[in-house]
Chain A
Amino acid sequence: MGGPVSFFFEVLFSGLLAGVMYSLVALGFVLIYKASGVFNFAQGAMVFFAALTFVSLVERGVNFWLAMAITLAVMIVLGVLTERVVLRPLINQPQITLFMATIGLAFFLEGLSQGIWGSQPHGLDIGIRDEPMEWLAERTGMFLSQFDLFAAAIAAVLVTVLALFFQRTRIGRALRAVADDHQAALAVGIPLKQIWAIVWAVAGFVALVAGLLWGARTGVQFALTFVALKALPVLILGGFESIAGAIVGGLIIGASEKLAEVYLGPYVGGGIESWFPYVLALAFLLIRPEGLFGEKHIDRV
């Protein structure tokens, strides 16, 4: 085993890699926020719903990739239905109304998932061993899991694809307009309903990816809805509107909470990583209220 320096870097790297897992969840929030200016309370429930649907299909003998395709289709249908049933009647309503609607949606999805598939936890094997890489351990004394690196690679691909989607496509540009002002966006001919449906479907896809990676680690069970708690400080820190912010915020939160838990925790009784990220995010808010990459809004008075 390496010395204290090696251990420090091990904590740092595992923190960064844990942060990537948080970022994956945070991305789903960012997508919805960018499109509708709403904090989607149901994101955690979507992660749970997606992972549970996938694993239940696999357990019933459906091929891995087919199950993935079916779950993706289900998430797209869910996104479209959410737009039609929940959001469309609320166009031009205050954002708090939309937020409240997502709370309702969260309860509905949690109930629906358990109603259809039951409340038992499931194991999920996505074929990537969650074990330390021996060659790295032998050379550096650091125990890093190949699963974490895999998750980081997935996150990198996801971010690249999403960034291209939002910056190079018309939908992406339309999104920001919609987020700024529903009415104005409608007035200039942006098809708000389609935009919302697309974004919710994409958020469903991101939820599926996050659900699979988190589910492979903790098992697919109701507690997956709690991963949203991990994403909140990431969003505060990185900004609700920025995909890059979700990634950088995740890395900062992940690394700092692990370092704090390992090096400060023992002096204050431990267990601080549940609240430390929030304190950090709060401190950050005082300096930069819009978050690291958030947009500064200037309102006319």
Chain B
Amino acid sequence: MKPSKYLAAGVALAAAVLAGGALAQAKEQFIPANGYWVGPYAPGGSGFFGGMLDYFQLLNERDGGINGVKLTWEKCETEYNNARGVECYERLKAKGSTGATVIHPLSTGITYSLLEKAPADKIPLISMGYGRTDAADGRVFPYVFPLITTYWSQNTAKIKFIGMREGGMDKLKGKKIVNLYHDSAYGKETIPVLDAQAKKYGFTVTHIPVPHPGNEQQSQWLQIRQIRPDWVILRGWGVMNPTAIKAAQRVGFPRNKMLGVWWSGAEEDVIPAGDAAKGYIAAGFNLPGTSFPVVQAIMKNVYGKGKGEMEDRSRIGSIYYTRGLVAGIVTAEAIRTAQEKYGKGKPITGEQMRWGIENLNIDEKRLKELGAVGLMQPLKVTCMDHEGGGAVKFLQWDGAKWNVITDWIASDQSIVRPMIEESAAKYAKEKGITPRDCK
């Protein structure tokens, strides 16, 4: 071969490689994994993102991505810190061929910090089970999706659960409930909805704050002993949870009358409390377990190939892990929905993803196809309703594992929705936002 021919062949090869590279790049969907794997909240972050990324990996390994579009991601450590959360967002928002598809901040604080930035960049935020409750009003918050169940919805389901345990909602009259909450924006979020329900059902509610980090709660529990409540709602986070359970034991308060929020209801919240946690009840919008076909598929296609996020495999199937799995399913299904409209097999933009999430419809049939029946509730999102689910199950810790003790309990939207709309309208007025017309 003459030198010129070598050159021509080289150029052709380079062109082919470049074209192939461009093609490969064009066939990728980038999702930032802005989470936390170190620090005080690492158990939550590592479990959640472990589940989510394992699901993405499953789709890549088993199905070759979503309609041929491979999912890619990059991790950025936020340490659950607002400033770092924003930094990670800025760093990764323009990555990938179409930019960041969606952000899961996994922090109410970071969600608040991105509330105006993300819509400006046309990147949707999914705050699944946390964040700003009134963002469920899609007319005011087109780019924010507090999917599946908001704090307020969950809270009404909790009161329904207490009503069931007491023998009917009418039996709530005269009952005493303590709301033991983390003294932060997250902790205070449910005070208005609890007050509204206390008024409606005639029970009294006492709100007792626990200062951060919550590793000493003797005075709060002494007050609780004085009040002698029928139920204690635990709205904790991190070390506050096992400390509360232990402190309940110290003052002799029965653990089966303690009702935790879903951020107080993971294995990591009860194992450190040891035997004291036996009988403790918590809410959940995702269920733990390894028997779901989707988990089995991950074991086979991801861990079976030596891949997978969880170093400690015993955590696969834990509450945080399956919550991440649900996040993965919701994200992937929204991408699939968006592709149906904007072109199958094509990477979508953040703006298109927003449409995809808003038109998400995961029914029982689809859950079965996904191998996720029982893992999560069916989900139908609309322009008006960015929550889409609203039901809660309750789980009880037996000292070794969580046992599901109820069916899905629907939230009381007659209380929640007007409060959401009122709060969202106030926000819209403050920010000068003209709500969209969803009709």
Q: Which residues of A contact B (CB under 8 A)?
A: 1, 7, 10-11, 14-15, 18, 21, 110-111, 114, 118-125, 130-132, 137, 143, 145, 147, 214, 217-227, 230, 257-258, 261-262, 265-266, 269-275
Contact = CB atoms under 8 A, between A and B. Distances in A.
13 contacts: A120-B315, A121-B43, A123-B242, A145-B250, A218-B242, A219-B239, A219-B272, A221-B43, A223-B213, A257-B219, A261-B220, A262-B223, A270-B207
**Which 7 A-B pairs give the minimum distances between C-beta atoms?**
A219-B272, A274-B211, A223-B239, A271-B209, A119-B42, A261-B219, A271-B183
Contact of A11 (B37, B210, B215, B222): B222
Contacts of B40: 221-223, 225-226
B250 A218 contact: no
Contacts of B364: none
A220 B40 CA distance: 11
B381 interface: no
A interface secondary structure, majority: helix
Given A119-B38, A123-B274, A218 B215 contact: yes
B216 A230 contact: yes
Contact of B208 (A11, A121, A270): A270
Contacts of A275: 211
A130 B246 contact: yes
Contacts of B251: 132, 143
Contacts of A14: 218-219, 222
A121 B219 contact: no
Given A121-B268, A130-B246, A271 B211 contact: yes
A251 to B, nearest CB: 14
A121 B242 CA distance: 10
Contacts of B222: 7, 10-11, 14, 258, 262
A222 B38 CA distance: 9
Given A217-B246, A221-B272, A223-B40, A274 B223 contact: no
Contact of B272 (A114, A123, A226, A227): A123
A15 B213 CA distance: 18
A222 B268 CA distance: 12
B242 A15 contact: no
Given A121-B242, A121-B268, 14 more contacts: A14-B219, A132-B252, A143-B251, A147-B250, A217-B246, A218-B243, A219-B243, A221-B238, A223-B213, A224-B215, A226-B215, A266-B223, A270-B209, A271-B183
Nearest to B243: A218
Interface in B98-130: none
A123 B271 contact: yes
Contacts of B43: 119-121, 221
Interface centre among B40, B219, B251 (most CB of A within 10 A): B219
A218 B246 contact: yes
Nearest to B242: A219
B212 interface: yes
B42 A114 contact: yes
Of residues B208, B211, B215, B251, which shows the largest number of chain A Cβ atoms within 10 Å of its Cβ? Answer: B215
Contacts of A262: 219, 222-223
B312 interface: yes
B184 to A, nearest CB: 10
B239 A218 contact: yes
Interface string B44-62: 0010000000000000000
Contacts of A21: 216
Nearest to A125: B274
B407 interface: no
A125 B277 CA distance: 13
B292 to A, nearest CB: 22
B39 interface: yes
Contacts of A273: 211, 216, 219
B434 interface: no
B273 interface: yes
Interface in B243-299: 243, 246, 249-252, 268, 271-274, 276
B414 interface: no
A24 to B, nearest CB: 13
B311 interface: yes
Contacts of A270: 183, 207-209
A122 B225 contact: no
B4 interface: no
Q: Choose among A114, A217, A220, A230 the residue with the greatest number of B CB atoms under 10 Å from its CB.
A: A217
Contacts of B208: 270
Contacts of B209: 269-271
B243 A217 contact: yes
Nearest to B250: A145
